[in-house]
């Protein structure tokens, strides 16, 4: 009797899982998890249970995501889309995912992200954009991401990043930037200052190695002195507003200021700094020499004065010793004269 009840219960769970689970996916009702890993999917499958909290879609061939894909998945907390061939994402893709905590978009072909793509995912804690083709990021991308603690953007094509992009990430703890095409010129000094403050507050980063210019190649941005960067004389680049067809801004428009030769570190400035350093050393040496001469003169004067005073004291003592004898001799000479008086 008990065995029949158990089998019936398992059969009910099986039927429920089959009915409420997308084709070629595995569903765990208890964990509210749907796994569609490595199934050769070209699009996100339909029929994902609306109460799903974890959705694994990695290692497939998904290349586009429509705006309505996640409309009925408002309970989703973990979404893994890594290892697909996604090239772009529209501004409304994740609008329904208000409870999303972890978004993994690593190892795709994403080359552009809309300015408002994350504006509804305000609870997001982890975001992985690594191993894509991003050349830039819009300034307001992380505007509402105050809960983000872990951000990965390594292995992209980034060469500049405005510090304003990171200013709103007040709870960020880990930032991964390694292996991008960083151009270490004046436009990157703002990021350098932000990272120094981030590290001071206990944050963690990986190495940011320069690709340009030639004399700074493979050097860590955080170890390059600020003095090597010329002040920027041109207007800072600002993201072009998103267009309706979500095309990526042209490279020419995005990096008009990149070719500004005034931004590049120059040997001339280093030579100027060296001259200033040498001048400072010379002036310091002259001042020290003058002080030493004054001290030597004071020492000689003091010694001479001490010698003169010592000689004076010796002469004074001799005179004091001779005075009694002189007085006694004078008395003896006067006695006969006084005795001869009748």
In this predicted structure, what is the pLDDT of residue 264? 55
Q: Among all chains, which residue has been given the structure tokens 């006695």?
A: 335
Mean pLDDT of all residues in the chain?
Answer: 80
Cis previous bond, 198, omega within 30: no
Q: What tokens were used for 337?
A: 């004269």
- Return the biggest CA–CA distance within the chain: 174
Q: What gap in Å lies between CA 253 and CA 91, rounded to an integer?
A: 21
Q: What gap in Å lies between CA 226 and CA 304, rounded to an integer?
A: 55
Distance of CA 210 to the CA centre of its chain: 14
Q: Is 339 helix (H, G, I), strand (E, B) or coil?
A: helix
Q: What tokens were used for 199?
A: 């590290």
Residue 133: which of 156, 117, 152, 155 has the closest Cα?
156
**For the chain, how big is the Rg over CA atoms in Å?**
42
In this predicted structure, what is the pLDDT of residue 247? 44
Q: Identify whether the C-beta of residue 237 lies closer than 8 Å to the C-beta of residue 257.
A: yes
Q: Identify whether the C-beta of residue 166 lies closer than 8 Å to the C-beta of residue 141.
A: no
The parts of the chain modelled with pLDDT lower than 50 are 1-18, 235-261, 266-271, 334, 337, 339-342
pTM (2 d.p.): 0.65
Handedness of CA 176, 179, 184, 188 (dihedral sign): negative
Q: What gap in Å lies between CA 128 and CA 107, rounded to an integer?
A: 9
Q: How many residues would you count in the chain?
A: 342
In this predicted structure, what is the pLDDT of residue 317? 79
Alpha helices in the chain, H assignment, sequence order: 2-19, 189-200, 251-254, 267-339
In this predicted structure, what is the pLDDT of residue 275? 67
pLDDT digit string (tens) for 19-69? 589 998 999 999 999 999 999 999 999 999 999 999 999 999 999 898 889
The Cβ of residue 111 has, within 10 Å, a number of other Cβ atoms equal to 15
Q: What tokens were used for 210?
A: 């320069």
Q: What gap in Å lies between CA 176 and CA 156, rounded to an integer?
A: 11
Handedness of CA 115, 118, 122, 127 (dihedral sign): negative
């Amino acid at each position: 009797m008990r065995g029949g009840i158990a089998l019936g219960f398992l059969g009910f769970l099986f039927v429920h899982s089959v009915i409420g689970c997308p084709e070629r996916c595995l569903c765990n009702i208890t964990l509210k998890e749907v796994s569609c890993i490595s199934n050769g999917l070209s699009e996100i499958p339909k029929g994902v249970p609306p109460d799903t909290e974890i959705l694994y879609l990695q290692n497939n061939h998904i290349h586009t995501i429509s705006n309505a894909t996640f409309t009925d998945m408002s309970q989703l907390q973990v979404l893994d889309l890594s290892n697909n061939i996604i090239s772009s994402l529209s501004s409304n893709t994740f609008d329904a995912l208000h409870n999303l905590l972890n978004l993994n978009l690593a190892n795709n072909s994403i080359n552009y992200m809309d300015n408002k793509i994350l504006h509804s995912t305000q609870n997001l804690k982890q975001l992985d954009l690594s191993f894509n083709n991003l050349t830039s990021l819009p300034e307001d991308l992380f505007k509402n991401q105050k809960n983000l603690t872990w951000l990965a953007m390594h292995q992209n094509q980034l060469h500049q990043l405005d510090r304003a992009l990171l200013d709103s990430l007040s709870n960020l703890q880990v930032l991964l930037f390694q292996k991008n095409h960083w151009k270490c010129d004046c436009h990157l000094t703002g990021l350098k200052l932000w990272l120094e403050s981030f590290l001071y507050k206990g944050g963690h980063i990986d190495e940011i190695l320069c690709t340009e210019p030639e004399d700074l190649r493979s050097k860590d941005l955080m170890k390059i002195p600020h003095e090597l960067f010329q002040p920027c004389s041109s207007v800072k680049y600002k993201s072009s507003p998103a267009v309706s067809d979500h095309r990526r801004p042209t490279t020419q428009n995005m990096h008009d200021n990149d070719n500004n030769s005034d931004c590049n570190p120059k040997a001339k400035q280093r030579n100027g700094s060296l001259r200033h350093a040498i001048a400072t050393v010379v002036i310091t040496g002259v001042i020290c020499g003058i002080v030493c001469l004054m001290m030597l003169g004071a020492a000689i004067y003091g010694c001479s004065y001490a010698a003169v005073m010592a000689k004076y004291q010796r002469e004074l003592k001799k005179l004091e010793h001779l005075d009694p004898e002189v007085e006694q001799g004078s008395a003896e000479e006067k006695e006969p004269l006084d005795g001869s008086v009748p």
